[in-house]
Amino acid sequence: YLVGSASEDSLNRRLAHALVAAAPSSMEFVEAPIVDLPFYRPELAREFPEIGARLKETVEGADGVILVTPEYNRGVPAVLRNALDWLSRPMGLNSLTGKPVMIAGATPGAVGTAVAQSELRTVLGFLNAHLMGQPELYIRIRKEQFDESGRATTPGTQELLERAMGAFEAHLASFAR
Ligand code: FNR
């Protein structure tokens, strides 16, 4: 999974951990760090830097990818957008082609990251990723609403996370290599 936040105490990382905790026990997860990626530029990409190569390797080796993101100014935060740009290059070697993907986002704000996720759907469609359509995870929540074990303390949210991870397992199975 990728977390679209550079915050040290990210609400969205908590959501990512809650999703991991809500997943069927057969699934394994690793966070692919993206915060230290330099801004993509072609001059850098010619000698593909280790940090970009490692991200591509992690994503390409995974059965699927979960993007958990805040919304910044009604869009995808730059840190995640930059990671998607690195994954899409070099030209013709897009790491997200055919990759099953699920998206989620958390915010205390009223629209629950729906606008950022809508933008993400457009980008992922262009990148030929196999995006899971539903359930949608627009989580309007505060940090205190996750307990020590990472579970959401709102029962309805916890039920939604469990349902989504079950659906993602089925989504992965339908694209199994
Ligand atoms: C925000 N935040 C925000 N929230 C939202 O729901 N819609 C938005 O458009 C924005 N815009 C926005 C811009 C910028 C620059 C910042 C710093 C914040 C609030 C945001 O959701 C909140 O800070 C979350 O806690 C961010 O998630 P992480 O970083 O804690 O995972």
Task: Report which ligand 1 atom has the smallest distance to the Cα of 69.
Answer: 31
Question: Quick one: pLDDT at residue 153?
Answer: 78
Cβ–ligand 1 contact at 10 (below 6 Å): yes
Question: Quick one: pLDDT at residue 177?
Answer: 64
Cβ–ligand 1 contact at 82 (below 6 Å): no
The closest alpha carbon to 168, from 144, 145, 134, 128, belongs to 134
At which residue do the structure tokens 């979960």 appear? 66
Task: Kindly report, residue by residue over 42-95, the tens digit of the pLDDT.
Answer: 888 788 899 999 999 999 999 999 999 999 999 999 999 999 999 999 999 999
Mean pLDDT, rounded, for 141-163: 85
Q: Which residues contact 6 (CB under 8 A, 6 or more apart)?
A: 35, 79
Tell me what the pLDDT averaged over the chain comes to.
94
34 or 43: which carries more pLDDT confidence? 34
The closest alpha carbon to 15, from 163, 167, 117, 157, belongs to 157
Task: Record the tokens describing residue 127, joined without a space.
Answer: 């990148």
CA–CA distances in Å: residue 98 to residues 11, 21, 59, 103:
29, 26, 12, 15
Q: Ligand 1 mean position to 124 CA, how many Å?
A: 21
The closest alpha carbon to 66, from 24, 13, 141, belongs to 13
Cβ–ligand 1 contact at 11 (below 6 Å): yes
Cβ–ligand 1 contact at 35 (below 6 Å): no
Classify 176 as helix, strand or coil: coil
The closest alpha carbon to 108, from 79, 141, 72, belongs to 141
Q: Which of 3, 34, 71 to mutate to test the pocket of ligand 1 (most atoms within 8 A of CB)?
A: 71
Cβ–ligand 1 contact at 25 (below 6 Å): no
